[in-house]
Amino acid sequence: MDRTAQFGAREGNDGIVRCDACPVLCRIRPGRAGACDRYANRGGELVRVDPLVLLSRAETAVPLLEADSTFVTAIGAGTTYPDYKPAPFIVESQHQGIDTITVVTEGIFSYCGLKVKIDTDRHLGPETAPVRHKGEQIGHVTTAEYGSQMLSIGGVHHLTGGSKKEGSVTCAAMLALASKEALEVTIDGGATLVIQAGKPPIVNGAPERRMRVGCGSATIGIFAQQWQGHVDEVIVVDDHITGVLTEHQAGKCLDMRAAGIRVRGRRSTPGRYFQVAHPGTGWGGTDITDPLAIIESIDAKTAWPGLRLLMTSTTGEDAAWFELDESLRPTPARMPDAIAATVARIGENCEPALTSVLFMAGAGGSLRAGVTDNPILLTRAVQDGRVRITMGGAPCILWPGGGITIMADVLDLPAGAFGYVPTPALVAPLEFTMPSALYAAIGGHLGAALLLETVLAEYAASALVDPARGDLPWRGSPA
């Protein structure tokens, strides 16, 4: 009998099966699937629609299933809900002579969200501004980090704390992003974005190409020596820290002559200016399209006719060359080849702009009951590093502090790893791997354990076998 049949119960003589794999408790007619499309009624029995996923590290075009090179993931395994029973698969195996247990379950996560890192200098929206999909708020803009803008998507308050529509739209958006699909979102007071894990972000219809080499001050420091002798002043326009070469300590150390060009904004330290313009999608993440607009004054006692001025952004995508005329007005001129080469080098040192999507969740109370009858012992063993946690075989980051709060790059998970239930919540695979002796010590459900060879014999024919990525650690090893 299919292992997922343990989740259902027949109701009457009409063949309807009640699914208790999540709190929705669908009543499924013969030949139909439940609301989540994960479980179906086949001949009066509840079956898991998607196959169990096995990872194999065999280096062949068609992975070979051998016990010492196969890892049973939680994808397609089923859940522990309503949480009084052991996890769907508790697998015994050996790794380098160590008896090992891997507990496999699909967690139903209401307490989960996505952290989205967008490599861009463009202003996407004010910090804390709502992020919307189909008109519903699904998250907000959070802090900007070096060369990247961050979004927080999902979370329990959007899933369950608002309207029914907000919850369902949030859940669908999270599922799409976690499944590596493209999603269009809008930011109040900001940009329209198309974001997809591993792909360049599209900001207001324009794909981003480069992640900045550094802030304006850092760009000055990197390229100052290469500019020496070819230019009299360089201004690197940046929404955060605009750099001015001759005032900057790098210019001072190179004995560059003061140019007398003062930029707008608040002077922080020599050659470093904050707030030279408003945030935007122009030069260096500002609203500037004419770089001369940030020049506040030119000191006639210091500047001179013929002064050579380079203005550039932190990615080199925007750059202009000026020379001061007899009235000390910046006049556009042909950029010398030596300077054009340094601007090209700025671009060369910029990494490709990408979107990164990290799934973050708390593995809470009831899920742990499928592992042990005393969940706090599992929590402590995880926190101590004695238990390895993976998601569909992908490595997880464990956050410090209380509980089991984990984060994983969705690109590391196999295709089809995520699902949903219409409570609403996301469904994600989770595997706990540890030495068998430790599993016994924390009160694990040893009576429900199966040898890996038994699992393969029973499920391999219907399972989906994926080759394990060689750049990730082997999942079957205990912590």
Answer yes or no: is pLDDT of 222 > 50.
Answer: yes
Output helix, strand, coil percentages for the chain, rounded to the nearest 5.
20, 35, 45
Answer yes or no: is pLDDT of 82 > 90.
Answer: no
Residue 125 is predicted with a pLDDT of 94
Of residues 466 and 305, which shows the higher confidence score? 305
Q: Cα–Cα distance between 71 and 102 in angstroms, integer?
A: 9
**In the chain, % of residues over pLDDT 70:** 95
Mean pLDDT value across residues 174-188: 98
Mean pLDDT value across residues 60-72: 67
Confidence of residue 79 (pLDDT cuts 50, 70, 90): confident
Distant-in-sequence contacts of 272-278, Cβ < 8 A, 24+ apart: 272/216, 272/217, 272/241, 272/242, 272/243, 272/244, 272/248, 273/216, 273/241, 273/242, 273/243, 273/244, 274/240, 274/241, 274/242, 276/237, 276/238, 276/239, 276/242, 277/237, 277/239
- Residue 306 falls in which region: left (phi positive, over 0), alpha (psi -120 to 50) or beta: left
Strands 53-56 and 464-467: parallel
In tens, the pLDDT along 120-135 reads 988 999 999 999 999 9
Residue 382 is predicted with a pLDDT of 96
Q: Which two tokens stand for residue 182?
A: 């493209």
Answer yes or no: is pLDDT of 325 > 80.
Answer: yes
Which of 295, 241, 291, 234 lies closest to 263 in space, CA to CA?
295
Confidence of residue 22 (pLDDT cuts 50, 70, 90): confident
Q: Cα–Cα distance between 31 and 246 in angstroms, integer?
A: 76
Residue 6 is predicted with a pLDDT of 54
The amino acid that residue 362 corresponds to is G
- What are the domain boundaries of the chain? 1-49, 50-110+364-467, 112-211, 216-348
User: Strand, coil or helix: what is 293?
Assistant: helix
Answer yes or no: is pLDDT of 410 > 70.
Answer: yes
Sheet with 464-467, strands from edge to edge, namely 70-72, 53-56, 464-467
Which of 17, 71, 34 lies closest to 433 in space, CA to CA?
71
Do 222 and 194 meet the contact criterion of CB atoms below 8 Å apart? no
In tens, the pLDDT along 380-391 reads 999 999 999 999
Q: Which two tokens stand for residue 478?
A: 């205990």
Q: Which two tokens stand for residue 444?
A: 């694990």
| Measured CA distances, 123 to 128, 236, 242, 284 (Å) | 13, 17, 15, 9
Answer yes or no: is pLDDT of 4 > 80.
Answer: no
Element (DSSP H or E) covering residue 217: helix 216-227
Q: What is the DSSP letter of 126?
A: -
Residue 64 is predicted with a pLDDT of 54
Do 47 and 5 meet the contact criterion of CB atoms below 8 Å apart? yes
Neighbours of 406 (CB within 10 A): 23
Give the sign of the dihedral formed by CA 149, CA 154, CA 156, CA 159: positive
Q: What's this model's pTM, rounded to 2 decimal places?
A: 0.89
Q: Cα–Cα distance between 350 and 354 in angstroms, integer?
A: 12
Confidence of residue 11 (pLDDT cuts 50, 70, 90): low
Phi, psi dihedral angles at 242 (to 5 degrees): -80, 135
Mean pLDDT value across residues 287-305: 97
Confidence of residue 96 (pLDDT cuts 50, 70, 90): confident
Q: Cα–Cα distance between 398 and 419 in angstroms, integer?
A: 22
User: Strand, coil or helix: what is 459?
Assistant: helix
Helices (H), 20-113: none
Interacting residues of 168 by C-beta distance below 8 A, sequence separation 6+: 422, 424
Residue 473 is predicted with a pLDDT of 82
**In the chain, % of residues over pLDDT 90:** 77
Mean of the per-residue pLDDT values for the chain?
92
Instruction: Say how many residues make up the chain.
Output: 479
Which of 240, 127, 239, 121 lies closest to 188 in space, CA to CA?
127
Phi, psi dihedral angles at 75 (to 5 degrees): -70, 120
Range from 1-5, 80-84, 230-234 that averages highest in pLDDT:
230-234
Answer yes or no: is pLDDT of 268 > 50.
Answer: yes
Element (DSSP H or E) covering residue 131: strand 130-133
Q: Cα–Cα distance between 459 and 68 in angstroms, integer?
A: 16
